[in-house]
Structure 1
Amino acid sequence: MESLVNFVVGKLGDLIVKVAQFLGGVGNQVEWVETELKRIQCCLIDADTKRKGDARVENWLNELRDVAYRIEDAIDIFYVEIEDSRQKDSSGFLHKFNKLCCMPMKVPCLHKLGKELGQIRDVLDGISKSRVDYGIKELPQDTKKERSQADELPMRAKAYIDVDETKIVGLDADKSNILDLLLNNVEIPRRAVITIVGPGGIGKTTLARMVYERAMVNFEYHIMLSVSQQYNLADLVRQMLNEKEGELKSIMPKLKNFLSGKKYLIILDDVWEVRFWEQLKDALPINENGSRVMITSRSIDVAPVDPKISPYKLSFLNEEDSLTLLLKTTLSCQELDKKCPNDLLELANALSKKCNGLPLALNVLGGILSKRDQTYHVWKNVLDTMNWYSEKGEDCMNILAMSYEDMPYYLKSCFLRLA
């Protein structure tokens, strides 16, 4: 929101600079709107912190966004109409007369702009007055700077994609079982395909990385690839061959020939479609030397690619492991060594239960808590404002949305621009 308001304020300033001599009475309208928007800018930080628990504030921000777009449209239309009139009359008598009399051809455009800005002024005036009713405070610019510095991410807040096994909870048995299938299953010497299935955020990729790092030394060739929903098979095959060029029809036989006779381990993470395996399988030799392919997927439909090995389904964490993971993600090693106060432990239990045993949710929540004061009031406020719905991992978007909402204010615009 702040980037949008900044942009519109800039356009208003440009308008004043470029055509100030022609604006006349409309110039007062432009200056008033610019000044009012700058004043509202100082309220955005406070509004952003209050929007989660107050629907009125959320609506207030939506109204502000709409009027900002309306101002932008009015300015753009004004510029277009000026350029259009200039092209139509650039060589005519009216143009020469207007130039001599310093009476621009922009009178109709100015009238239209002035009328639109007059209506916008009424809307902005209402928005400014309602912010007082909603308790939205105007913060000085130095407060914003101090808040930005205070909200910087601490180094100990770990991203979920980093595999730090000291903070992994509840996957030891799964890791042991998968390693057994990869390394010790002498009953299946031929190339075997192992599938790990579970909803998003349950830890499939984390488990795959842990297993890969442990098992790869036992294979002559090994690679782990992220497939994703929008995959490019030719690009993935080129990665397996460590080549930059080559069409699919030529590199598929090349891959099969390259892997022939080798004991290989290929991990294909985040596979969404059955047809992906159908397209790739012929390039992976079915040898008798213990080669293994491992697939992770959210879909059970992808799982039955090897009839001799049942799909491995990951389970949600139990309450004890959920609490342990939350505390490990939230607290530093020094804090973990100390006994957690009973009031915080009670809140931690309540918070972890809201995550329904989903590791992604617990990691996101732990990351949020790790940047807050370790006090009852702060944790209780987080508990009261948690509004995601995660029925056993079926909806990760609300969980990720909470992570976005907890970003420092100045980073949100950067994130959205990059997205």
Structure 2
Amino acid sequence: MAETAVNFVVGKLGEMIVKEAQLLGEVGDKVEWVKTELTRIKCYLKDADSKRRKGDARAENYLNELRDVAYRIEDAIDIFYVEIEDNRHKLDGNSQKVPGCLGKLKRLGRKTTKLPARHNLAIELDGIKKLLEGISKSKADYEIDPLQERGKGETVLMPSRRTTYQDVDEAEIVGFDTDKNNVRTLLLDPEIRRRAVVTIVGPGGLGKTTLAQMVYKSVKDDFNLHIMLSVSQQYSPVDFLKKMLTKLKNSEPTVQDMDDLIIELEDLLSSKRYLIILDDVWVTDLWNQYLKHALPDVGNGSRVLMTSRFIEVA
């Protein structure tokens, strides 16, 4: 899992360096450093994973730290693009309010909209650099060695289909039509009357959330009740069930205890054909301990769609 995350981020950083050199400016050197360091670290991943499979807790900790850093880098890249786009939208709005200044504002905007985003990215990369330096030094303590010869069983890096900030609300996005239709077919299959669970799995940045949103908009009218919720890494089961009930009922739940919340959810959904979309699920506990009991299977074609970075969740 760590190797997949690192491979993906290295590819994303390389793409960013090539395509966004002018946009990055002086921050490009920091991006290049991070990419180079990750490329060096990749040599140690096979040995670390081999030790982890044999029960080495130190190797597992090493891989977990590296995976978390890879996700932090990915988030930093995405936030950079979002901030650039947000500033462009603000500039366009201001330029419409100042007649005769549109051309000047746009020319200035090409420079000024980049400054806060570059500054924030630089700060984040400085923190990431310290983490990577610590991880690099720790490999000796963990007795993790570079792999001299790599076999043919490499992890295949899935091509990135990064969507930009303004793309998310569009009705159709190029390259997602086939995926959307495949997921739609699974969700609406009339032959499957049992409650079915479908999971979209892949590294961050592939557009899982965008795909789920597209599918949700296209099938929600086929269900009596439907919601789409983001889960993320940190969540409270009780608060999450309350949020789910609130969105389904359009009112606050009348109970507070976990068991009572599960019962109320089950009662609400037992007579409805429902669609529940859960975006960015990180752990299996959410389903195994809570939702599979709260979401009844009454043979009416109800569906649950989840997106996750982890195959274990699927």
- TM-score interval, normalised by the smaller of the two chains: 0.3 to 0.5
The answer to which structure, 1 or 2, has the higher relative contact order (CA under 8 A, 6+ apart) is 2
Larger radius of gyration: 1
TM-score (normalizing by structure 1): 0.36
